Amino acid sequence: WLHRIGRAKFKSTHATRLCEVHFTDDQFEQLIFTKYGVRKLKPDAVPSIFVHRKQPTPRKPPARRDATRGTLDATDYSLASAASEHTATAVQDINSPPRADSNGQLLHCSWQGPQAPASLDARLDGPQMLLAAAAHVECAVSDSSVGCAAPSHTATAVEDANSPPRADSDGQLPHCSWQGPQVPASLDARLDCPQMLLAAAAHVECAVSKLSEASTHDRDKESGVDGSSVRNQPMSSEVVAALHRRIKELEDHLQGTQRRLSLSQRQKNKALQEKNAVRTQVHRFLAPDQLQCMEKSTMKGTPWSTPTIEKALKLRLSCGSRGYNVVREIGTPLPAERTLQRHLEKFKFAPGILHEILDSLAVKVSLMEDHERHAVLMFDEIQLKQGLSYDQATGRIIGRPTISLADGTLPKDAMAKKGFVFMLGGVTTRWKQTIAYHFTGNSFSSTKLKEVLLAILQECEKIGLRVDAIVCDMGGGNQGIWRKFGIVVCKYSRSRVSCPHPCDPGRRLYFMADVPHLLKNLRNHLTRGQSIILPADVVKKHGLPSNEVTLQHVKELVEIDSKLQLNIAPHLKPACLDPGHFEKMKVGLAFSLLNHDTAAALRFLVQRGDMPQDALTTAWFIEVVFKWFKIMTSRTTKLAISKLNEVKYGDTVLFLQDAIRLFESLEIIDPDDDKHAWKPVQTGIILVTAVALELQDYYLNTKGFFCVLLGRFGQDALENLFSTLRTNNPAPKPYEFRCAIRAATMAQFLRPSKDGSYAHDAGFSLVGLDTGSGKAAQVVDTVAVEFPDDVLMLSETEQGSFDYLAGYAVSNVKQNMSCCSECIAAITCKEASTLTRLKSYTKETRLSLPSPAVIQFLETAESLFRTNSDKLLHDQITLAQLEASAVQNVTCVNCFPACHNVATKLLRVFLRTRMHILLRKENQRISEKKASVKCGSRSIGKQVATRNVK
């Protein structure tokens, strides 16, 4: 602001005031103090008027300037010097009028020329003296103008000008040889003083003008003769002062312009920096195609890039359809949902091995290093909601099991209740990729699942991956798969934790249980009131006070903590000791209970005497389990098994071996009957620990790896996928599950819930939209379409509904598909059925009315659909097969124009509509038949609990 008013260096004081002229009228309050005649400024008033008065600057005396000398000879230089001095003296004396005393006597003048004659009348008036001096000056100027060709003439003229005028005894001025105005000879010596002054001033002005012209002419003349210039004539002090003032004004103006230029440059640089910063920030979340879309008035027709499509899919998976549309409505440049669907249409994702993914995965694997190709195969199941749906991508019904039940059979009316997902994960690098999925009932055949695993292993080996281990949970069906591969772990037999690799007999294929599942199972034994009895050699080796591990001491710890403001074990919660049905699924609660902090709190209370010594046994066991869990789930090199530190490596291997012996010999006893038996948790812990020892030896000694991160042999990535799939629908139907897993895989998006049971896996997916091939799986036709024996006979009531449905098909074809006027005329008419007229909102119906040819054609298709509806529901034929058979065998197809293939379009719309009607009725029948649902997660349990609330 100070720059704008020209006071950049101004410093305010307590007495500084701001004038009101700097404020506009809207900056003042409406109230005017009439008593004082003042107006009050608003609290947020801003001075926006920059009027100001230029600050006066103190004048400095002009510096005395010496004229430069030209290149003249000695004679010319002396003449020019004399002429210059005489001229300056004459001008100075002429500009200064003569002064006289009270008696009329002339005072002494600073006259440098020849002395005045003695006969000059001393009583000559001042005006007369001025007039005489002017006459002499003009005479000198006249002489110099006549003889300006030579420097001597100028000197003579100056000399004459410097000579005082001579007067006779009568006071008359003598005649002078000059070219200016003549002085009349009869000039009265007693002329009035004002008239004399005016005449003298006129003569002086004329003389000075002619003298200036003569000097200029001489200078130009001499410059043209020898190419050099005479020194400049001296200027008067007033001219010099005026020039200095002008120079000062120009310098001030230049400084002000420079300040404004500097300010503008700084503002420009600041604006550029802000623009670049904004552009950088915008590019962090907006792609170039999104920025280009923002420059247009509409998003329609925008060619979206693959990264933008993947980003949109992630957002669509995170917030659902409604939330995604809200984000688009507020102006975020994102493609429409139909655009996302169109980009995913080429990826069929039919149940089974995802060959679309394998083809693209092969390209990724070919670029990997040898150590990056080692992988682990994991699989798990997710609970689904029963229901049948028509999949337009594959043309089949989704909702039936694709793997037979445990008894090896697959009933005709069996419904898919769970989804099996198979995922690959890297051992040395954090990559992951969904490779296959299947639908199962409440149980599944271990033999069939083994065949699926073998097929997946073969496909992975073909593209260059080396699957070294298979990971799953401790479910009954999964243990059956272990037995199919010869995996045995029990108390009284030698453990077998691997089998020959199906694709390479020289390698071993290991089987592992999911470590977080084992931790939850062990916690469940303790929370149910069961005790763990340690073997005697372990008690003696570690000097434990007792051999029993129980949670009774931990419960006492929680009671003591509840009375304190600052807790000893703040991580312990009541849910850790008494988890509900859904709390049992959370790994975090189990980890909080079997934690090193819990053991430290127990030891602290024992040292204080607040707990008995038996609590030390429980504290020791908790410490062992905690250390074992940290090693088995290591994700960093600090906890990884490595030979960089031989001492630490030896201690880790020895600890794992002791853990195997501990769980082989301990007993888990039920307090009610004091019976102990071999528990599945013991099998799982021994299995994973033994596999960890063999794998670390294989990777470190045989393959020469830097370290082994056992956390890569877990199901965290798979559980994160399930959490992502449940985001929009906690209990998805099979078709919704298929769509969600396709979108999550193509968008490379796995974002689990923060309240999930598993830790977040930071691995990245290898294949997405940018690398997917979209190759559809080949479908083999096994059953031919069955044709009806009789003509379809509809009742009058059903015939009205059928005509209305046919009209819907005609309307859909007219509005959404390309048709000419001839096609429209062939499929429409003007006669409406009774039901159609009643459903119309206007007296003259504007609904699309099917022609008789369309009615006859679609009645044949309806008869064909009803005959094969059972096969369609059980996925024995596809809707595409039914459509092709109808086009080939129905004779009335030829009744329609062939220009736009309108018959096929009508048939496709009609059959899909009939399929949706059939599936809606079938799902309603299944829902009524289903009496109870087994809840596999909290979200499903809440849904079931609130379903019948009215």
Residue 599 confidence (pLDDT)? 93
Query: 839 falls in which pLDDT band (50, 70, 90)?
Result: confident
d(C-alpha 37, C-alpha 54), whole Å: 29
Range of the domain at 36: 1-56
- CA proximity to 774, closest of 189, 210, 356: 356
693 and 550 co-located in one domain: yes
pLDDT over 70 at 46, yes or no: yes
Greater confidence (203 vs 41) lies with: 41
Same domain? 668 vs 522: yes
Rounded distance between C-alpha atoms, residue 585 and residue 183, angstroms: 131
Residue 118: pLDDT band by 50, 70, 90 thresholds?
A: very low
Relative to beta strand 466-472, strand 504-513 is parallel
**Which residue's structure tokens are 């020469």?**
704
Q: Please tell me whether residues 180 and 299 are part of one structural domain.
A: no
Domain shared by 550 and 657, yes or no = yes
Buried b (16+ CB within 10 A) or exposed e, 137-164: bbbbbbbbbeebeebebbbbbbbbbbbb
> Is residue 631 assigned to a domain?
yes
Torsion of CA 802, 807, 809, 810, to 10 degrees: 140
Q: Which helix (H) or strand (E) holds 130?
A: helix 126-146
Task: Pick the closest to residue 847 from 862, 861, 832 (CA basis).
Answer: 832
* Residue 753 clears pLDDT 50, i.e. is over it: no
840 contact partners, CB below 8 Å, separation of at least 6: 832, 846, 847
Contact 669, 676 (CB under 8 A): yes
Whether 329 and 356 map to the same domain: the answer is: no
Q: Look up residue 260 and give its two tokens.
A: 């404004």
Integer Cα distance of 250 and 231 in angstroms: 27
Which among 210-214, 733-737, 827-831 has the top mean pLDDT? Answer: 733-737
Q: How many CB atoms lie within 10 A of CB 327?
A: 15
Cα(34)–Cα(391) distance, integer angstroms = 84
Q: Copy the structure tokens of residue 868.
A: 């094969």
Spell out the alpha helix ranges (H) of 731-878. 734-746, 796-816, 821-827, 834-839, 852-867, 869-873
Residue 303: Cβ-neighbour burial (10 angstroms; 0-12, 13-18, 19+): exposed
pTM > 0.75: yes or no: no
Is 68 part of a structural domain of the chain?
Answer: no
Mean predicted lDDT score pLDDT of the chain: 78
| 896 plus 755 within the same structural domain | no
Q: What is the pLDDT, as a whole number, of residue 631?
A: 95
- What pLDDT is recorded for position 792? 76
Is residue 35 over pLDDT 70? no
Mapped onto helix, strand or coil, the DSSP state of residue 857 is helix
Q: In 3D, which of 628, 649, 772, 775 has the Cα closest to residue 706?
A: 649
φ, ψ of residue 591 in degrees (nearest 5)? -70, -35
In the chain, what percentage of residues exceed pLDDT 90? 30
Scan for tokens 């939209």, then name that residue: 769
Is pLDDT above 80 for 78? Answer: no
CA 444 to chain centre: 45
> Of the spans 165-179, 408-422, 663-677, 762-776, which averages the highest pLDDT?
408-422
pLDDT digits over 354-376, tens only?
Answer: 988 888 888 888 888 999 999 99
Residue that terminates a domain, selected from 679, 709, 739: 709
C-beta atoms surrounding 548 within 10 Å: 17
Eight-class DSSP state of 654: H
> Has residue 332 been placed in a domain?
yes
What digits encode the pLDDT tens for the residues 460-472?
999 999 999 999 9
For range 673-690, the mean pLDDT: 88
Q: What is the pLDDT of residue 89?
A: 43
DSSP states of 196-235? HHHHHHHHHHHHHHHHHHHHHHHHHHHHHHHS--PPPPPP
Between CA 322 and CA 326, with CA 325 as vertex, the angle to 5 degrees is: 85
pLDDT, greater one: 657 or 875:
657
* Mean pLDDT, rounded, for 63-87: 47
pLDDT tens figures, 232-291: 567 788 889 999 999 999 999 999 999 999 999 999 999 999 998 888 888 887 888 888
Looking at the fold, whether 837 and 908 belong to one and the same domain comes out as yes
Q: Rounded mean pLDDT of 297-305?
A: 83
Cα–Cα dist 937/941, whole Å: 6
What is residue 213's predicted lDDT score, i.e. its pLDDT? 62
Query: How many domains does the chain contain in total?
Result: 7
| Per-residue confidence (pLDDT) for residue 169, from 0 to 100 | 44
- Higher-confidence residue of 779 and 622: namely 622
Helix crossing, 337-344 with 734-746: angle to 10°? 90
Residue 936 lies in a domain: no
C-beta separation of 139 from 160 below 8 A: yes
CB 804 within 8 A of CB 910: no
* Residues 521 and 415 reside in one and the same domain: no
Q: Cα separation of 818 and 840, whole Å?
A: 26
As given in the structure block, the two tokens for residue 587 are 């790994």
Residue 139 in this model has a pLDDT that exceeds 70: no
Contact predicate 569/557, CB 8 Å: yes
**Which among 944, 183, 103, 146 is positioned nearest to 581, based on CA atoms?**
944
CB 41 within 8 A of CB 19: no
The pLDDT assigned to 393 comes to 80
Whether 63 has a pLDDT exceeding 60, the answer reads yes
Examine the pLDDT at 91 and tell me if it is beyond 60: no
Rounded to 5°, the CA angle 796-800-805 comes to: 140
Q: Are residues 331 and 374 in the same domain?
A: no
Q: Are residues 664 and 760 in the same domain?
A: no
598: pLDDT confidence band, cut at 50, 70 and 90? very high
Q: Is residue 330 part of a domain?
A: yes
What is the b/e burial string over 897-927, where b = at least 16 CB atoms within 10 angstroms of the residue's CB?
beebebbbbbbbbbbbebbeebbeebbeeee
941-946: average pLDDT: 60
Given a cut of 70, whether residue 199 has pLDDT beyond it is: no
Contact 556, 619 (CB under 8 A): no
Query: Which region among 114-123, 445-454, 877-886, 903-912 has the lowest average model confidence (pLDDT)?
Result: 114-123
Is 708's pLDDT higher than 90? yes
* Nearest-10 Cα torsion for 896, 897, 902, 904: 70
Quick check: is 659 in a domain? yes
Task: Quote the crossing angle between the two packed helices 515-527 and 680-697, to the nearest 10°.
Answer: 150
Q: Quick one: CA dihedral 523, 525, 531, 535, positive or negative?
A: negative
Q: What is the pLDDT of residue 740?
A: 87
Token couple for 795: 């009742």
Question: Is 306's pLDDT higher than 80?
Answer: yes
First to last CA, the chain: 70
* pLDDT on residue 580: 82
- Between 40 and 709, the more confident residue is 709
Distance CA 308, CA 296 (A): 17
| Percentage above 70 pLDDT, the chain | 73
| Dist CA 135 CA 426 (whole Å) | 117
Q: How far apart are alpha carbons 367 and 683 in whole angstroms?
A: 39
What pLDDT was estimated at residue 464?
92
Do residues 683 and 744 both lie within one domain? no
Confidence of residue 850 (pLDDT cuts 50, 70, 90): confident
**DSSP class of residue 190?**
T
Rounded CA-CA distance 576/558 in Å is 10
- Residue 492 in domain: no
Q: Are 713 and 631 in contact (CB under 8 A)?
A: no
What pLDDT is recorded for position 97?
A: 47
Pair (158, 125) in one structural domain: yes
